[in-house]
Structure 1
Amino acid sequence: MLGKGMKGFILPLILIAVLLSGCGPKSSGTIVEDKVNVVTTFYPIYEFAKEIGGEDVNAINLLPVGVEPHDWTPRSQDIVNTSKAQLFLYNGAGLEGWVPNFLKGLESDSKVQAVEVSKGIDYIMTNEEDDHDHGGESGEEASGDSLHTDPHTWVSPKSALIMAENIKNSLVQADPAHKDGYEERFGKLAERLKALDAKFESELAKVPNKEIVVSHQAFAYLCRDYGLTQHAIMGLSPDAEPRGQDLVKLAELVKQDGIRYIFFEELVSDKLAKTLASEAGVSTLVLNPVEGLTEQQEKNNDNYFTLMEKNLQNLILALK
């Protein structure tokens, strides 16, 4: 048995060990001295930064594989890495409510440039409750009718192109010596995004039905840009619990409009989508908001383009 004095000593040690270990999986990567170190907050920004940056950039993604960005907050090691980096790229538009405090917590001699990569996108405003910012900077409860910015910009290839250009510009500014490489690689990425955009446009113009039912309200930019309408089981945050009457209303809408599939996403529980589907007598399909990769998708070498192609195929199937 431990004496009283020892017990009092061991508990703080355990607490320190827990704090140092951070919570859950670690972010990818460490600072590399002779490269432009770019810290990104979640998967699509990381993918584009790596693609545009090529050999000149060391990209560190804060969000671990298999973790949904709405549920995540940074660890102490993330603050250390970001303090030493040249660029910190975040989505903005309210996705990462922890960013203001995180930036205040950086080391005082840090020269990192923080860049909001969704700047310049025509934001969609919504009166849905938005829990992305975990209470954000103000502690008050959002009233149901106050407007929020929908942060899911990257889910439309049109917006993703603006984000990729912002990432390229920030790299050129941080490292003008390698401007030509950044411009050239951005050019190739931009071509692929434009081709993806054209494919979404032509394929979705042909489908007879235009309404989708999704588990989490992440597809407003996609719907706006390609002429669809989304009905969401939950609001902007995938954690928000819907009310029973909302589910009943949605089930009626599904039956009434002949909707054949309810969409769910892999990084969030599919329980509600399955409940609604069985209530309405329809099937479920994946529609991926491309917020992060699952471990399986990482093993399969999936990326923004392969996941968006799958989204398009599933939309075509559901809207026939």
Structure 2
Amino acid sequence: MNVRRLIPATAVAGAVALGITALSACSGPGTAGGSDGKLDVVASFYPMQYLAEEIGGSHVSVTTLTKPGVEPHDLELSPRQIGSLGDADYILYLKGIQPAVDDAIAQSGVKNTVDAATLTTMETHGAEVDSHDHAGSGAEEHADSDEETAGRDPHVWLDPVKYAEVAQGVGKSLEKADPDNAADYRANTEALVGKLDALDTEYAAGLKSTTTKTFLTTHSAFGYLAERYGLTQEGIAGVDPEAEPSPARIKDLQHVAEHDGATTVFFETLASDKTAKTLAKDTGLRTDVLDPLEGITEKSKGHDYIEVMKSNLAALQKALGAK
């Protein structure tokens, strides 16, 4: 089960005090430390890493705290990683999705720290999304979180429009952090926003006319995407994509599938397909992958954000009966 583990504040403070400077435990391109003259950027997980690399270009050296293949919500930071945060020139993260990271960053003392959640409007979605965001059964685990993050759906990167808003904010923050290269950051931001605008257009056209608007997923990560393109997300277990659905929930979803004409149960690349197959067997539906893009691995249907999002679109079109 994906249990969010919080790092005690005392442990965070102690690790920072040690002054450990290496980021060898992190993954990602480039070399940390700024010895090559580049801005030393630390990203919390893949959606933030992608923004930093695309916008920063040749002027940044990016490391990510979440290794490829690691489910971000399960992340535990080593003392070395925690202590190393203080040596970063710029930190980009998304508050509310990785509590251990939130706590460590709060103790890092880094001036140029950007919370992507502040760069767009965060929303709440259905009950299944709320459970993913630490409400309901997971509330006790996240009791120390700031009130303003409680109940919000953090998956803004799955909506190309919102992700573009975040990209624009990241670009402006990099301009301030490294004014000598502001023109390049501005140009790179415009190029990325152009790609995201094109992706939004492709999604809108591709999902405009479908046989059904409802899709079932083990991971309730697609609330923003569903809202953007007039779809309905039905989450199975919410917080844990590997959890077995209850008999009552299976019955509910059987009714939904029959009533709404749903055809497919989606699972993700970073978790087992056991739950999806269990439900599919009981409902006579098929299974497929809908990637929440929390990390890129060899199993991903694409090498980067844009490619995987296009694969997601193709999967949705097939499942929804796009015309």
Normalization by structure 2: what TM-score?
A: 0.82
- For structure 1, the residue ranges without an aligned partner over 5 or more in a row are 1-19
Please state how far the C-alpha of 1:270 moved relative to its aligned partner: 1.1
* Structure of larger gyration radius: 1
- Does the alignment pair 1:310 with 2:316? no
Is residue 141 of structure 2 the alignment partner of residue 135 of structure 1?
yes
Identify the residue that residue 95 of structure 1 maps to in structure 2. 97
Aligned ranges 1:1-320 → 2 under 5 Å: 26-28=26-28, 30-33=32-35, 34-92=37-95, 94-106=96-108, 110-126=109-125, 127=127, 128-129=130-131, 130-131=133-134, 135-138=141-144, 148-238=151-241, 242-297=245-300, 302-320=303-321
Do the aligned residues in 2 keep the contact of 1:118 with 1:162 (CA within 8 Å)?
A: no
Q: Provide the rounded CA distance (Å) in 1 between the counterparts of 2:78 and 2:150.
A: 30
* Kept after mapping to 2: 8 A contact 1:44/1:291: yes
Once the 2 structures are TM-superposed, how far is the Cα of residue 121 of structure 1 from its aligned partner?
A: 2.2
Distance change in 2, residues 1:306/1:134 (3 Å): farther
Q: Tell me, in whole angstroms, the C-alpha distance in 1 between the residues paired with 2:34 and 2:139.
A: 31
CA–CA distance in structure 2, aligned partners of residues 156 and 148 of structure 1 = 18
AA matched with 2:116: V
Separation in structure 2 between the aligned mates of residue 155 and residue 134 of structure 1, nearest angstrom: 27
Contact 1:39 1:61 survives alignment (8 Å): yes
| Percent identity of paired positions between Structure 1 and Structure 2 | 33
For 1:5, the equivalent position in structure 2 comes to none
Evaluate the alpha carbon distance shift between residue 51 and residue 196 of structure 1 in structure 2; reply closer, same or farther with a 3 A threshold. same
Deviations 1:190-249 (A, max 9, x none): 110000001111111122311111111100000011100000001145366543211221
Q: Is the 8 A contact 1:65 1:293 kept in 2?
A: yes
Q: Is the Cα contact below 8 Å between 1:62 and 1:78 reproduced in 2?
A: yes
CA distance in 2, matches of 1:160, 1:236: 22
Deviation of the 1:73 alpha carbon: 2.2
Alpha carbons 1:65, 1:295 under 8 Å: kept:
no
Aligned length: 286
Question: What is the aligned-residue RMSD (CA, Å)?
Answer: 2.5
CA contact (8 A) 1:95 1:133 kept: no
Instruction: Name the aligned partner's letter for residue 304 of structure 1.
Output: Y
* Letter in structure 2 aligned against 1:97: P
**How far, CA to CA, are the matches of 1:241 and 1:296 in structure 2?**
23
- Cα distance in 2 between the residues matched to 1:294 and 1:215: 19
Asked whether the equivalents of residues 217 and 234 of structure 2 are also in contact (C-alpha less than 8 Å), the reply is yes
Structure 2 counterpart of 1:6: none
Give how far 1:66 is off: 0.6
Q: Distance in 2 between matches of 1:263 and 1:138?
A: 32
Report the Cα offset of residue 273 of structure 1. 0.7
Structure 1 counterpart SS, 2:303: coil
Contact 1:84 1:112 in 2 (8 A): no
Unmatched tracts of structure 2, length 5 or more: 1-19
> Equivalent residue of 2:207, what SS?
helix
For residue 248 of structure 2, what is the amino acid of its counterpart? Answer: Q
